[in-house]
Structure formats: structure tokens, C-alpha cells
Structure 1
Amino acid sequence: MRKIGQGGMAEVWLATVNGAPPGSPPVVVKRLHQELERNPDAVDLFLTEADVTLMLSHPNVIRVYDSGEVNNRYYMAMEYVHGKDLDQVIDRFRTKSKTFDPVVASYVAAEMLTGLAYVHQAKTPTGKDLGIVHRDVTPANIFVSSSGEVKLGDFGVAKLVAVESWTMAGSVKGKLGYLSPEQIAGEAPSQSIDLWAVGIIFWEMLTGERAFVGEHELDVMLRIKKAKVPSVRKINKAIPKQLDKILCRALHRKQKKRFPTAADFLAEVQKFQNEQPQKYDSATLVQYLTHELA
């Protein structure tokens, strides 16, 4: 095993599976920090991520293969995505003073929404709706593999509406710039907050700017609460009007006027894609990123 990173809750290792044939892909082992093993809230969050993701299997969602406890240490073993997270990709575009081609951005957004639509509609083996809310849809949790796959990961703060007690009550989850106005207002999380986050990410890919910035966290929170996101065409007139219309709806100040589901949001993005002469898939996404970021 080789340590490849760590976060506030866990350390991450790259490992090979014992007995696997030569050439088999490695797996990622995520292990809760030892000092958090005695913190019930931290353990609950870690086990929630394992329990949620073990029930999911979709090309646009990072797969978790196993989880458990060994020598009093909690772990989960998951799919290794060789590539970069979307935060790194967007930052690279900003460094080069570039923005995503609108059709490419729509492809990435559609892949995110495809994964979210699956997650939001996930059911238990007995057919009961899980009502999963990811709550941390950010560029850092969207992964773009070296083969052009777009995958949603890190369900560490996910909420299952069907199982209220599985998350810490009263906490604001998610990276600040991608929180919805409803989260800032302290409302109960619903799947609409994940769609808001996708809208913000989509907006940032197209504009090359951050949607919400401020001198301090409170300033950012107040800006989010007002929900005044500029039209993308005010920043770049070259962005198609259809995408502007989609994002104006996705980021509308009033929640009831936004897309009701990930599938509805996805359908509008796909409608735009189908009207474009240039079509993208995983292979052409890799070609585009390689060319633009060389």
C-alpha cells in the first residue's frame, strides 16, 4: 500500500488486491483517522458513506467494493480513478485564462447529472426509495479519468431521507461556494441542493469565474442567500442563449422555479447537446482537454 493523500476525516491509500491477476487495477483504501475512531459523529459519517455507496453501481459514480473494521480501524475499499478532479481541471483553465467550450461543459454537466439522477432515484434491495442527498457536489468531488469518464464521488456527508439518524443534525455540509440559498437559511436538505451545486459548477466552467466570492465566509454566505447569480451571457456573449436559459432556471432564486429533478435538468442539457454539430464522448473529452491544457 502507498499513501496518496489525506483529508480532515480520513487518509487515502493506493493498494493492490491480494490474489488479483497481474495487471489488475489498484483500489483506493480510505481509512478513518485514528484520532477520530472515538468520535461517534465522525464514525457515523464514515459508515454512512460506506453504507450509501455500497448500494450504488453506476458508470458515473465511484464504486465502493467493500468496507469494514480491521484491528479497530474503519476502512472502505473503492474504485481508483486515474485522472484529475474537476477542481484541478477548472483551475488549470483559469491559469491559462481559458474557459470550457460550451458544448464540452454541457457534456461534463450531463455526465454529472446522469450520475445524480441515478443516485437520487436509488432504492434499497426491497424497492424502497433511499432519497439520497449528496450534499457535497463540488468540483473537488467530481473526477475526470484519463479515459474521459466523469464520476461523482465522496458521499461522506450524504443524507438518506429515509434514515434521518444517519447524519449529524444541525451541521452545514458541503463546500461553502456550492451551498444553496436554502442550506444557508438552515432549511432541511433536499435533492434540489445537489442540482443547485451542479448549476454553479456548470456556470463556473462556462465563465471561468467563481459564482460567489467575498472578503470572508459570512460575506460569501450572505451573497449566496441573496442568490443573485449573473447571466452567463453578461460575462461572455459567445455562450449560447439556450445554455443561458438553462442556467437561469437551474440557479433561480426561488427553489420552486428550478428544475424539479436531476432527470429534468439532464433532459434540457441533452436537448442542447443534440442540436450541436459537434458531439462529445469520453474519448473526445480526453482529446479536448489534452489539447486545451497542454
Structure 2
Amino acid sequence: MYDIVIVGAGTAGLSAAIYGVRAGKKVLVLEGQNFGGQIINSPEIENYPGIAKTSGFEFASGLYEQASNLGADIEFEQVVEVEKQGKGFIVHTGGRQIECLAVILATGAKNRPLGVEKENQLIGMGISYCATCDGAFFRDQKTAVVGGGNTALEDAEFLSNFCEKVYVIHRRDEFRGEQWLSDNLRKKDNVEFVMDSVVTDIIGENGVQGVIIKNVKTGEETELSVTGLFVAIGQMPDNKAFEKLVDLDSGGYIQAKEDCKTSCEGIFAAGDCRTKGVRQLATAAADGAVAGLAACEYINKSQ
């Protein structure tokens, strides 16, 4: 019997484990793939408070070792279901059932890929899914943002402050994002909209040197010379296994506010898997702390 079972060993999950074991609870972290989450693929991190510069792997490894050394059990198993039973829960994996008093869901979210050749190869070498994380590395360079929602427009706005040129590539003739965002971008001399277009190929072997775009109406292909390609076409949370237990929004994110409490008492959601406005490394760690302490408080009150 565990006090807390945490689903996911990313920044939020491991931060929650640290706070849980420091509060004297018996904590198990279950991860279906690799520890660290999305950040483990980032070659450089320069926006985490108190750490001037590190790599995603170093950051994630430090969290893993800290949680483990403090006493958290971290095991690599895929959680397929969480079941409410009496005052506690049963967490089902592919091979066993684990009883606990509280659950923290920290399953994260995956960036939706473009699905073009070389995309995976060049992640961290010109391709990024987070302008606020990596944009500063492209100062005075030409970049492109792919997407038409608020995130894409906000990314373009951010990049326009220090990039020589920012192309905004969108497959439709109108943006899905808010009008005021696109209006602000139209006022900028270094921002150019490339509408009705999709990226069909990425140029470069050891780094992005350009992209090939195709106009979906005319079929015409054009080459854009850029060194940075920022993909902002949405994220994909993986919360379907918990949809019968906690409320999800239309995008599949767990409905939880800053207190990380879900619609099911005793289950908490932390990090990118929950409904929130800002998804950054610092906010994931903050969610982990909040969820970890909230789970401890819930257990203390229910005993």
C-alpha cells in the first residue's frame, strides 16, 4: 500500500514525488516510457530560475536522482486505469494492481508533429516546439512559425522582438487565433504571413537551413531560407485512461485549476496534462509542489 501513486515521471511528477516523500509519505512514481518528459530532448535550458544554463537531460536526471535518493520508488510501467475503491484507489498497470490513498496524474502532453521527413532528426538543431524556451538562440536570424492558433501567433510575436525575420506559415487563409494578435503582427516590418501553405520538406542535415512550403490551393512550392522552425500546431494529452474518473475538457486535458484538484476527490493533476494557460518548465515544477502537498493534506485529513 502506497500513500501516493504518481502517474508520470516528468518535471511535474518528479517534483510532486520530492514534496511527497519529504512530507513523510510513501510515494510510487509510475512511468510508461522514459523519465524526464518533453524537456529531456532540449539541448539547452536557460529560462529556469536559479539555473543559468543546463541541458534537458541534466535537469531531468537531477530531478530523478533527487526523488529517488529521498526515497521515492520510481518504476517503469504503463498505467492503464485508475479505479476508485472506498477511501482509496487501485492503480492498474499491465501486470499488477497497486493500492494507494491518493493519485497524482502528471501524464504531460506531446507536441503535435508536422509529420515531415527530418523533423525528428533536427529537433534541438533548429526545430523547436517552444519559442519561449528556445527562441533566444535565434537572435538576429530568420525563423518560421507553423500554426494558426493563439500559440503560433504569440510565438511569432515573441520571436519578432529579436529575430531578423519571422515567417508565419498557416494552412488556411484565416488564423484561428484571436484577431488582435494577428493585427499586432501585421504592424511589424519583420513578420510575414504565408497563408494557405504547409511545410512539405526541411532543408539541412546537421541543422535547419530552410523549408519547402506548398500552397494548398495552387500547388506551387517555394523555398524559405530559415535557421529556426517553430512548430505550434497543438499538443496531444494522453488522459483517455482516466476519462471515467476525472472531468476532461474538449481537448482532452484534465480539468483542474491552480490548486491541482480534479473532479474526483483524492486525485490531483499536475503539469501539462491539466487545463492551464502557461505550460513551461517552471510551472510544471510548481504544479508538482502544489499537487504533492495537496495530496499529503488530503491523506492527513482523511485518516
Shorter-chain-normalised TM-score: which range?
under 0.3
Greater helix content: 1
Taking structure 1 as the reference length, the TM-score comes to: 0.22
Structure scoring higher RCO (CA < 8 A, sep ≥ 6) equals 2
Normalization by structure 2: what TM-score? 0.22
| Structure having the larger proportion of residues in strand | 2
